[in-house]
Amino acid sequence: ISLCTPALVVDVDKVKRNAQRMIERFQKLGVQLRPHMKTHKTLECADIMTGGSRRSIVVSTLAEASFYADHGFDDILYAYCLPFDKVERCASLSERLDLFQVLLDHPDALEQLRKRPLAQAIHAAEGVELTGVYAHCGNTYNCKGVEQIQAVAQETTNLTLQFMEKLKGVGISCKSSIGSTPSCSHPVQDMAQLSEVHPGNYVFYDVQQSLIGSCSLEDVAVRVLTRVIGHCPHRNQLLVDCGWTGLSLDGAGKLPTGYAVIEGHPDLKLLSMTQEHGRVEPISGKLDYSKYPLGSLLTLIPYHACATAMMHPVYHVHSEGRLVGTWTPTRGW
């Protein structure tokens, strides 16, 4: 491959497969899938995750919300407890879009929303409407294996459904939305009683998700390509051109192979990184430098795809080994 390294490469066929599986999984359960955009923040991937509908997405920043709104997306849920410094921007999005949803977790936040003339207008006209209850079962990230994931998914589903019953008891009927990538990769039957789920990472997956049991390493759709740029026999190390600007520092201390899995080289470890350099050493024994000539490529499977993608201003997209284009994410807040 002629790409300059370090480069984030995306296997679009795996992306489509991961997305399609999630769509089918929740069609079968009769539950609305509202995919989260935070991992990739691109239009192309959003199209794939929504099956081309450009409807019903979750975002983690208002920069994402505006970016998607600018490109014809609608029914956007800003999965962030209404930040007081961004009420005007939220109000403006709610004016532009058919449906823009924000989260409230405190009476003060409702007060902030009501204080704004626009929100007052909405309130007078149609009311600030309670759409539903939003929860994230982040504790699935401590799981190992499908059984543990499904135990957490079951528990979260039970708690959410019980809460919905209590709301109904006081006359409030609304939607319920839960879901992390682990639980939505292995849903339990009772999740059919929820209104919607909102996983995001699954479109790329990563080493972390494979260790949790959400996917196999085969399913991971992103890699960072890096080149050998130095031989350091006095330290029994290789230098590569991927530092933390290309991979992020996420996953420190989590893997026997260091900050990433080096594809096809289970005996190598990405020991440490500076801004633009990585140090690779064998897990045991002496490096055979003839296997890693200067300029040769190594392929890193990221520990955490959200953190790695965030470091790249452009993603290089390939299908069956051929580059087919680039995707450009949005950034900022």
The binding site for a copy of itself (CB under 8 A) comprises 2-7, 38, 60-62, 80-81, 83-86, 89, 105-106, 108-109, 112, 138, 227, 229-231, 239, 241, 244-246, 248-250, 252, 274-276, 294-295, 306-307, 310-314, 331-333
Taking the complex as a whole, the smallest distance from the CB of residue 23 to a copy of itself amounts, in Å, to 24
Closest CB to a copy of itself among 196 and 250?
Answer: 250
| C-beta atoms surrounding 254 within 10 Å | 14
Residues forming a β-bridge with 222: 10
Closest CB to a copy of itself among 168 and 331?
Answer: 331
Location of structure tokens 């085969």? 218
Distance CA 312, CA 6 (A): 9
Taking the complex as a whole, the smallest distance from the CB of residue 196 to a copy of itself amounts, in Å, to 21
| β pairing state of 222-232 and 297-302 | antiparallel
Taking the complex as a whole, the smallest distance from the CB of residue 231 to a copy of itself amounts, in Å, to 8
User: Are 312 and 40 within 8 A, CB to CB?
Assistant: no
Q: Name the nearest CA neighbour of 164 among 151, 178, 153, 182.
A: 178
Q: Name the nearest CA neighbour of 133 among 165, 108, 109.
A: 165
Taking the complex as a whole, the smallest distance from the CB of residue 194 to a copy of itself amounts, in Å, to 23
Treating both helix axes as pointing N-terminal to C-terminal, what angle do 117-125 and 87-96 enclose, rounded to 10 degrees?
A: 40
Closest CB to a copy of itself among 3 and 97?
Answer: 3
Taking the complex as a whole, the smallest distance from the CB of residue 173 to a copy of itself amounts, in Å, to 27
90: left (phi over 0), alpha (psi -120 to 50) or beta: alpha
Kindly give the residue spans of alpha helices, DSSP state H, lying in 8-116. 12-29, 43-49, 62-70, 87-96, 107-115
Taking the complex as a whole, the smallest distance from the CB of residue 114 to a copy of itself amounts, in Å, to 15
Distance CA 193, CA 92 (A): 33
Closest CB to a copy of itself among 114 and 331?
Answer: 331
Closest CB to a copy of itself among 89 and 175?
Answer: 89
Closest CB to a copy of itself among 24 and 276?
Answer: 276
Taking the complex as a whole, the smallest distance from the CB of residue 63 to a copy of itself amounts, in Å, to 9
End-to-end CA distance of the chain: 34
Location of structure tokens 């505006």? 66
Closest CB to a copy of itself among 97 and 249?
Answer: 249
328: left (phi over 0), alpha (psi -120 to 50) or beta: beta
Taking the complex as a whole, the smallest distance from the CB of residue 326 to a copy of itself amounts, in Å, to 11
Give me 10's structure tokens. 């995306």
Taking the complex as a whole, the smallest distance from the CB of residue 294 to a copy of itself amounts, in Å, to 5
238: left (phi over 0), alpha (psi -120 to 50) or beta: beta
Residues forming a β-bridge with 202: none
Closest CB to a copy of itself among 61 and 183?
Answer: 61
Closest CB to a copy of itself among 206 and 241?
Answer: 241
